[in-house]
Structure 1
């Protein structure tokens, strides 16, 4: 072997193959999740009356893909997602000094314990909404077994997401993508999707709009006191045009269930109240009141999440402390107002665009121009597009890392 050939061989041996290893790990996680999704809960009978068009079904599609909630993955990654969101919100309310004192190990530990709490509560609540076979045994014993099975499945799903975040690609996104893609395919096949051109066109618009918002950036030029070279004019603060991506749409479906269950609980206490009964009957995604609440939630969550996660006040304070500033602008209050305006404007725009897309889809459903089961398809398309864009960007970063050649 020549010297050059030997050097080339050594270079190949030193390549980390980070992308290959991570993709392989993610594939194994998804395969394990699919295997667990085939394990049925003990003693549970299918409920054929399950509504396949409401927000609760749509949420279950995201987190488990289990329409009848009959497998050990009935809770899916819902506890992990809720725990992750709650921990992020708590961190967002803390100042930068407090956040710097919290290690990744600590934050993961907090998220695990919050996941445990969510899993227990959700398993108990969901167990009372299931139908059980009479021959399975005493009801209390069967329900206890089912609760333990759902809790174990949720804990395993959370562990898969955490391990995939460390060793794979996309954290929980591959599982969400799998769930929603399979359910979307089944939904489209069962409801003859391509016979309704209006919803097909709307889905294409949703895909194109989401792809543009996910991949376009707003670049705010910065002056950094620590950089004095030919690249000084290439420094900028970047914001996505959709600051929180598709997260508001995903969690709006979950948040919609809060007023839904609240109203139903009030009706159970005051069954003679005609106003409450009317609100309860209309708090569904096939009636104007339910649609209006759902769309408002999308916009509100888009703004709320953007300010919690991006925190323009903290960004402006950090820039002032570091001696950095936006070109042509004073540091401090003026910078804070400017960044607040950017976050508010684009979070409103992205939230309203997502809400408008859903409004058209749900309006077509209420006018019976499309089946109710297809009304959530644009939302599914937006989520799939957002996840694919994020995965492509992450995979590209690992590819560039693998392509880097160290000097010999």
Structure 2
């Protein structure tokens, strides 16, 4: 008997398209009373970073915070969860984890909305600045929470959770900057970008296979069992999150300068915490490298993998189960996370240094990171689409 199935892939793609339409509609709603004059940071790397995460070039719409509260909350919750032992993690329900993430996102949203509203200029005809700024802060918070719920809803019913929105924002920023700043007039930048994208594509689809011996399998396919680790363990997550962490650090330093306006150290940090200054570039690259290692251990969790292998009676060929297996897996994850972090930070440093020495326009310095994010997201979306396609192709037999 043939069982008719709904086409899951088509439904999910359609739902994700609907999410993008709603998001684009939100991006067209301007903040009340905000001046159309470009602020002092327009055209800088910081504004380009913000555009990559929100799609709002001049930060004048209710979606100006973009997905930054969502991804920062996601990062923090994952870090906190990884610090708990295996037994504690199993006791945390999905509803409880979602509640933690929502609370964290709200905290990030309030902080970022206050800082962003302080950085805008307002029309004198809009009313008293205090009340206009308060209203704009509420608008920014509302837009960020709408984006949060769009991402969470797409995670459940669509394709790629927050990735379609990130992809849309990156494509918008990329197309705008390439057109305004004449990207093709800088062949060296084009060659660097292509090389980085090709390298990212290779790393995203290249695996290390750690062979396993499984006591429960005794057939001709037994030697085909293995643990697979990508050579780029956590993809482009370090670069993507590093931009957000960098912005949060800038917001925090700016907030501290309001509290301690006479501090020369904070004033120096605020002036030099830019991606056009050696200090800012160094901090940004250190964030990328650090997040590459941290994310690799959070996402892959070699200690937990070793515990599960021992619990199931399996082992790595030539390695004793237990502590030896844990040490072996930790070395693999550490090795490739360091290599991946150095490659990503090194690729980013090239164009940032070129921009610092005025060899290329400053807003084009993040073109390589945009390319890496695009390649990584497209690879992830293609893999997810393939999974749903195979699911739809499956036929039940009675």
Normalised-by-shorter TM-score class: over 0.9
Match of 1:121 in 2: 111
In the alignment, the residues of structure 1 paired with residue 102 and residue 257 of structure 2 have an alpha-carbon distance, to the nearest angstrom, of 36
RMSD: 2.1
CA distance in 2, matches of 1:262, 1:111: 20
> What corresponds to 1:46 in structure 2?
36
Which residue of structure 2 lines up, in the alignment, with residue 222 of structure 1?
A: 212
| Aligned pair partner of 1:321 in 302, 311, 333 | 311
1:125–1:314 distance in 2 versus 1, CA, 3 Å: same
Distance 1:58 1:227, change over 3 A: farther
Q: Which moved more, 1:284-293 or 1:303-312?
A: 284-293
Match of 1:137 among 81, 105, 127: 127
**Cα offset for 1:128?**
1.5
Post-superposition offset of 1:54: 4.3
Work out which of the residue numbers 72, 76, 89 in structure 2 matches 1:82.
72
Residue of 178, 182, 187 corresponding to 1:192: 182
Counterpart mapping for 1:294-309 below 5 A: 294-309=284-299
Equivalent residue for 1:201, pick from 191, 199, 205: 191
Query: How far 1:88 moved relative to its partner?
Result: 1.0
Given candidates 72, 86, 90, the residue that maps to 1:100 is 90
Other structure's SS at 1:220 match: strand
1:222-241 to structure 2, matched below 5 A, reads 222-241=212-231
8 Å CA contact 2:45–2:362 kept in 1: the answer is no
Cα pair 2:49 2:243 within 8 Å, conserved: yes
Aligned 8 A contact 1:52 1:373 in 2: no
Deviates further, 352-361 or 388-397:
352-361
Deviations 1:320-362 (A, max 9, x none): 2222110111011211111111111111111111111111111
Q: Distance in 2 between matches of 1:276 and 1:112?
A: 31
| Deviation of 1:281 (Å) | 3.8
Give, in whole Å, the separation in 2 of the partners of 1:119 and 1:260: 15
Is the deviation greater in 75-84 or in 42-51? Answer: 42-51
8 Å Cα contact 1:37-1:73 kept in structure 2: yes
- 1:318 is displaced (CA, Å) by 2.1
Cα distance in 2, alignment partners of residues 397 and 166 from structure 1? 15
Structure 2 residue aligned with 1:249: 239
- Report the counterpart of residue 182 of structure 1 in structure 2: 172
Count of aligned positions: 397
Residue 37 in structure 1 maps to residue 27 in structure 2: yes
3-state DSSP of counterpart to 2:30? coil
TM-score (norm 1): 0.91
Partners of 2:113 and 2:325 in 1: CA distance: 47
Contact 1:302 1:347 in 2 (8 A): yes
For the 8 Å contact 2:72–2:244, the answer to whether it is kept is no
Unaligned runs of 5+ in 1: 1-6
TM-score, normalisation: structure 2: 0.94
* Distance apart, 1:22 and its partner CA: 0.2
Q: Residue 278 of structure 1: CA displacement? A: 5.4
Distance 1:261 1:159 in 2: 24
In terms of Rg, which structure is larger? 1
| CA distance in 2: counterparts of 1:264 and 1:283, whole angstroms | 10
